[in-house]
Amino acid sequence: MQFFRPKPPQITVHELKRLRDEGASFLLIDVRQPEEREIATIGGMNIPLSELSEGLDQLKDRRDERIVVYCRSGARSDNAAAFMMSMGFTRVYNLQGGILAWSAEIDPSIPLY
């Protein structure tokens, strides 16, 4: 039997930039390891994917807020967003292309690694 995991909605780096520019309310979560975050970051709370199940306890009161999850390329954050959806988070989005897309399309001063 195969487990069905819903595909989380995606948000582009341009949509995220617009949200930031408009001062919209959302929570940004970086699911990369701390050593990756030291190389490059676009901000937000750091909850590594390997610690996400424990880290969700601190977010239990924010289940219905808009949450954008990111990583380096968008793969880990896609898994994280799907997991969060399965845990009852209702407005969680994966940042397509992750920090690599942010660097390429929004802010080239963000280092690539």
What's the chain's Rg over C-alpha atoms? 13
Judge: domain 10-105, CATH 3.40.640.10.
Answer: no
CA atoms of 91 and 32, how far apart (whole Å): 20
For the record, the structure tokens of 9 come out as 């909605």
Question: What residues contact residue 86 under an 8 Å CB cut-off, 6+ apart?
Answer: 5, 6
pLDDT tens, position by position, 10-31: 999 999 999 999 999 999 999 9
Residues of the chain with pLDDT > 70: what percent? 96
The residues with which 30 forms a beta bridge, in sequence order, are: 46, 70
User: Are 99 and 70 within 8 A, CB to CB?
Assistant: yes
Q: Which residues are catalytic?
A: 71
Query: What residue spans define the domains of the chain?
Result: 10-105
pTM across the whole model: 0.93
